[in-house]
Structure 1
Amino acid sequence: MKILKKAVFAACFAFGAGAVSASELLVVADEWAPFSGANLPGKGMSLDVITTVLERAGHDVRSDVVPWARIMKGARDGTYDVVGSLFYDEEIAKFMLYSDPFYETRVKFMQAKGKTHDVTSLEALLPYSIAVGDGFLYEPEFDRSEDLNKVVVTTTQQAVQMVAFDRADLTLDSEEVLSFAIRGSDTDITDKVDIPPHILASHNIHMAVRRDFPGAASIVADFNAALAEMRRDGSLDALLSKHVTLQE
């Protein structure tokens, strides 16, 4: 989520200008490459997987990419009913019904090349400035800590640039997101940054449906059944590999 921060959300609209039919699911995500993005193939891994699985389960689906702030507001006020690219969170689970996971991601730190920052514990992180995304979720203890020197930014791309040009000591995100941000930088920063091997957290990525949404349990059951079929026949791995390098 962002990270696990980020989430992908879906809504069903029955009436109004520009609305979709009551039987169509609108899957919405914010820019969080390679998991979601308006200019990515299939609009990113998460949108591609969620759309494909739901369509295989017999649902009509369309997708769009919208700003994160709007998604967060809509998730709280009931505008968006189906959520994907979601890490498990106990508070969210109180009002969202989780599906089986469709991917696992690992949260890692990034530092400037040549640095040897100790990132193995929260206490070890105290001396460093850490660029973090506004509203992003990384790991519960890290997220709750008020002792760390967190520098809030809007995107992981901004955070990566800050580390590359010595404006922050560290940043962190899913390793896929960090790698994509490095490759997508306007300037070549490959030789300026390094991703240490330490894993802060591993997260399963799910979709979820608001518990009070009509048919929520059926949508989740449909998704889980189609997802299991895709695991068995190899089509899930084939789809994922179009977007990311699968972990061994």
Structure 2
Amino acid sequence: MRPLLLAFALLFGCLGPARAETPIRVVVDDWPPFGGEYLPNGGISLDVITTVLERAGYDVTTEILPFARILNGAQSGIYDVVGNLFLQEELQAYLTYSDPFYETEVRFVQQKGHDHVFTDVESLRPYSIAVGEGYLYEERFDSADDLNKVVVTTTIQGVRMVASGRVDLTLDSTDVIDYAIRTDDPGLADQIEYLPTVLTAQRIHMAVRSDFPGRDKLLADFNSVLADMRADGSLDRLLEKHRN
């Protein structure tokens, strides 16, 4: 935004409700049920972020894109708001996080009847583990380069590899794994099972690129409206639509 236009934006921001001069560009990756072209309102994350920002007075455009492209675009200033994010230190170098709007467990999946043991990241060394390309799960696991990680393109691909015995484990949000099995291959439910120990409970956020003009105001507006929706029950009602 040019300096003169920014001055006008700040002036009008003081006189009335928040209204971006140009639409806020919101992007999420294809990660059902949190983001997806064929999901209601683009999935949980896109629905929440869009609803909150519009209630705060912003115009919004949305896209669903590959995760690597999203991160590159956020770093280069193409995209303004990124959704579907766990709190990751490396992303905070160029993204500023909002308050969380959802929480999900990240767990490992094994072939049913096996007795694989997970107590900490070190205990995973004997196993082959299917991981999504570019996916971020939990910082200690993500940085463990000595593990036998087998890269796959989708969560359901990893689950199928576990069910067929091609790898020992895979992992993701339980919301994501349950959705993938339910919609893509229900028969897998009888072939796999979760390990009892949870890797982590991750909160899901949106984040604004750190060099975005008006970043602090946008985040404050988002967090304020999100708190109001949580208090009046409208956030729960919105999330409930995606559970049916």
User: Shorter-chain TM-score category?
Assistant: 0.7 to 0.9
Structure-1 residue corresponding to 2:16: none
> Deviations 1:113-149 (Å, cap 9, x if unpaired)?
1111102222221111000011111111111112211
Q: Larger Rg: 1 or 2?
A: 2
Partners of 1:78 and 1:23 lie apart in 2 by 14
The alignment covers a number of residue pairs equal to 226
Aligned residue runs from structure 1 range 64-83, under 5 A: 64-83=63-82
Question: Which stretch shifts more, 214-223 or 117-126?
Answer: 117-126
Partners of 2:188 and 2:31 lie apart in 1 by 19
Q: What stretches of structure 2 of length at least 5 have no aligned partner?
A: 6-19
Partners of 1:187 and 1:50 lie apart in 2 by 30
> Deviations 1:18-66 (Å, cap 9, x if unpaired)?
xxx9431232222100000000111100000000111111111232222
Q: Is the 8 A contact 1:84 1:206 kept in 2?
A: yes
Q: Which amino acid aligns with 1:169?
A: D
Q: Is the 8 A contact 1:34 1:244 kept in 2?
A: no
Q: What stretches of structure 1 of length at least 5 have no aligned partner?
A: 1-13, 15-20
RMSD: 1.8
Q: Which amino acid aligns with 1:144?
A: S
Q: Is the 8 A contact 1:176 1:244 kept in 2?
A: no
Structure-2 residue corresponding to 1:165: 164
TM-aligned CA distance change 1:147 to 1:162, over 3 Å = same
Shift of 1:187: 6.1
Shift of 1:215: 0.6
Q: Which amino acid aligns with 1:68?
A: F
Partners of 2:66 and 2:84 lie apart in 1 by 15
Shift of 1:227: 0.3
| Matched position secondary structure for 2:205 | strand
- Percent identity of equivalent pairs: 57
Structure-1 residue corresponding to 2:197: 198
Does residue 122 (structure 1) correspond to residue 133 (structure 2)? The answer is no
Structure-1 residue corresponding to 2:93: 94
Partners of 1:91 and 1:133 lie apart in 2 by 18
Shift of 1:180: 0.9
Partners of 1:131 and 1:76 lie apart in 2 by 28
Structure-1 residue corresponding to 2:17: none
| Matched position secondary structure for 1:157 | helix
Shift of 1:166: 1.2
What is the TM-score with the length of structure 2 in the denominator?
0.87
TM-aligned CA distance change 1:174 to 1:187, over 3 Å = closer
Does residue 106 (structure 1) correspond to residue 134 (structure 2)? The answer is no
Does residue 238 (structure 1) correspond to residue 237 (structure 2)? The answer is yes
Structure-2 residue corresponding to 1:144: 143
Shift of 1:170: 0.3
Shift of 1:178: 0.9
Structure-2 residue corresponding to 1:54: 53
> Deviations 1:164-210 (Å, cap 9, x if unpaired)?
11111100011101111111224621111111231101111111111
| Matched position secondary structure for 1:198 | strand
Q: Which amino acid aligns with 1:214?
A: P
| Matched position secondary structure for 2:226 | helix
Aligned residue runs from structure 1 range 29-40, under 5 A: 29-40=28-39
Question: Which stretch shifts more, 227-236 or 116-125?
Answer: 116-125
